Amino acid sequence: MNLITRNSLRLRALPHRLSSLTSLRQQATCATPTFPCVDAHAARESRILASSFYRYSQTDTQASSSDSGPEPPYARPNPLSYNTYHHQYPLELTYGSTLPSFDIAYETWGTLSPSRDNVILLHTGLSASSHAASTELNPTEGWWEKFIGPGRALDTNNFFVICTNVLGGCYGSTGPSSLDPEGQRYATRFPIISIFDMVQAQFKLLDHLGVQKLYASVGSSMGGMQSLAAGWLFPDRVGKIVSISGTARSSPGSIAMRHAQRSVLMADSNWNNGFYYDNLPPHTGMKLARQIATITYRSGPEWDQRFGRKIRELKDGQSPSPSRSPTLCPDFLIETYLDHQGEQFCLKYDANSLLYISKAMDLFDLTLPALQELAMTTTTHAPPSPSTSSSSSRQSPAPSKSHPPPLHYAPHFPELAAGLEPLKSIPVLVLGVQSDILFPVEQQRELVDALRMAGSTQVSYFELGGVWGHDTFLLDVLNVGGAVRGFLS
């Protein structure tokens, strides 16, 4: 077949091809695309409007949770299952504001000794409530259920454990969703708070309970920051410190991750500059913020093992076929996992509390210049003067048996060692996790080295493997629990 014949055949077939292409385009144009993952936001909004969730009415501690229909998302745990301490005097805050009064929700486990010297203060992460373990009033498992009890890491045969919902939270303690003295929601009129303010409020509770000195201050994640802050503020009132996957100075990487969460939340039009309590909450922004957070809480290797590149099942329960067409909505199991995590969280926690508490984490910095800028002082020690805290007047930290010292310390390292000087007489346990991307293990190593440079000879450090990332402190009962129990005993 010569060239002229071939071209003639192609020209004859061209109208048919053009007709087929036009038909396909018309079908594509006529078919309205659907996005179930987007429609889910509208469906959630309809459910909120049809329920009492959007009223954000905080249940009175004397009222039954069934009095107002479905349990409000801020009432977890049930208000009848925790204690509330009301501090009727003003609390001066780190950044110049004052809270006229405040409430602290707390739960306890074990028996307080006659001399009140067996108390462990357990500090929470960002969004946890005071319900760390089950109680008679609330048999639901707590967020650290397997670590608290007879013979466990926090052994209730020996210790009296107290866990609070932090200042700024929404599970019984005073926060943005609370009422101000005029009976209005604080919303974003709530003052900026710090990790130090959270600890100050906790120690007001300890004063109320007649506890002069803690046996130990224990915390993970943001709780690790609080445990260090407790020792810094009250070095004579803290017997031991446990910091798990925590840090003494928030890093730019962690700040960036939390900034992204706050950004998507505040971009939700329902946020309304924080004044949403009588309307729809920013549920879409909260869902997206939680998805971002979940990425920082776990690790890629875990998801490789757990999900791989598996595709979700179809709605009818059929397994996905190789010929299945991909969509813009979740196809991979890891996508459906993140979607589920965001969906579960978006109505369980107050958006403004997330903003305020995550910001408090960003602001945490125990380097000496940062402390001096805030005019922070301990209850028994004045901060070292610059002349006594320079790198030239300090010895290098002793070589670590747990990790090799870095060839070159970060520029802020001597300042961090100077800031940590009030902790030098307190035994400290530091735990780090190699797969943690939110609080990388380098931050725990730096904390250990800085404590040693500050003069501490009672620092214990364990570095854990595994694939669970930052959430290792919630899951690794054997290694985390074993290290904590050994240190406390």
User: Dihedral, CA atoms, 180, 183, 189, 193, nearest 10 degrees?
Assistant: 20
Quickly state the pLDDT bin for 383 (edges 50, 70, 90): very low
d(CA 185, CA 83): 22
Q: 229-284 pLDDT, tens per residue?
A: 999 999 999 999 999 999 999 999 999 999 999 999 999 999 999 999 999 999 99
Flag the least confident range among 14-23, 291-300, 474-483: 14-23
Enter the pTM of the model. Answer: 0.85
Residue type, 46: S
Answer yes or no: is pLDDT of 399 > 90.
no
Respond yes or no on whether the N-terminal peptide bond of residue 77 is cis (omega within 30° of 0).
yes
Count the neighbouring beta carbons within 10 Å of the beta carbon of residue 255: 15
Count the neighbouring beta carbons within 10 Å of the beta carbon of residue 312: 18
Q: Do 436 and 472 meet the contact criterion of CB atoms below 8 Å apart?
A: yes
Over residues 36-49, mean pLDDT:
86
Give the model's pLDDT for residue 72: 31
Q: Is 250 exposed, middle or buried (0-12, 13-18, 19+ CB in 10 A)?
A: buried
Give the model's pLDDT for residue 24: 45
Q: What 3-state class would DSSP assign to 461?
A: strand
Give the model's pLDDT for residue 3: 44
d(CA 123, CA 120): 10
Flag the least confident range among 183-187, 346-350, 398-402: 398-402
Q: Which residues are catalytic?
A: 221, 436, 470
For 456-468, b/e burial (b = at least 16 CB within 10 A) is: beebebbebebbb
Closest to 439 measured CA to CA, from 267, 258, 192:
258
Record the tokens describing residue 70, joined without a space: 């479905």
Element (H, E) at 431: strand 428-433
Phi, psi of 438 (to 5 degrees): -80, -45
Quickly state the pLDDT bin for 404 (edges 50, 70, 90): low
Give, as one character, the DSSP assignment of residue 184: S
Closest to 272 measured CA to CA, from 193, 355, 344:
355
d(CA 437, CA 281): 30
Q: Do 463 and 441 meet the contact criterion of CB atoms below 8 Å apart?
A: yes
Element (H, E) at 463: strand 459-464
Answer yes or no: is pLDDT of 376 > 60.
yes
Over residues 469-478, mean pLDDT:
93
Q: Do 162 and 58 meet the contact criterion of CB atoms below 8 Å apart?
A: no
Estimate the share of the chain in helix, then strand, then coil, as percent rounded to the nearest 5: 45, 10, 45
Residue type, 82: Y
Phi, psi of 431 (to 5 degrees): -120, 135
- Assign residue 207 a region (left: φ > 0; alpha: ψ between -120 and 50; beta: otherwise): alpha
| Residue 407 vs residues 304, 397, 410, 489: alpha-carbon distances, Å | 33, 13, 10, 35
* Residue entry with tokens 């706050």: 262
Give the model's pLDDT for residue 61: 34
Q: Do 245 and 225 meet the contact criterion of CB atoms below 8 Å apart?
A: no
Percent of the chain with pLDDT over 90: 73
Answer yes or no: is pLDDT of 317 > 90.
no
Answer yes or no: is pLDDT of 56 > 80.
no
Give the model's pLDDT for residue 41: 84
Give the model's pLDDT for residue 381: 46
d(CA 346, CA 75): 14
Give the model's pLDDT for residue 401: 58
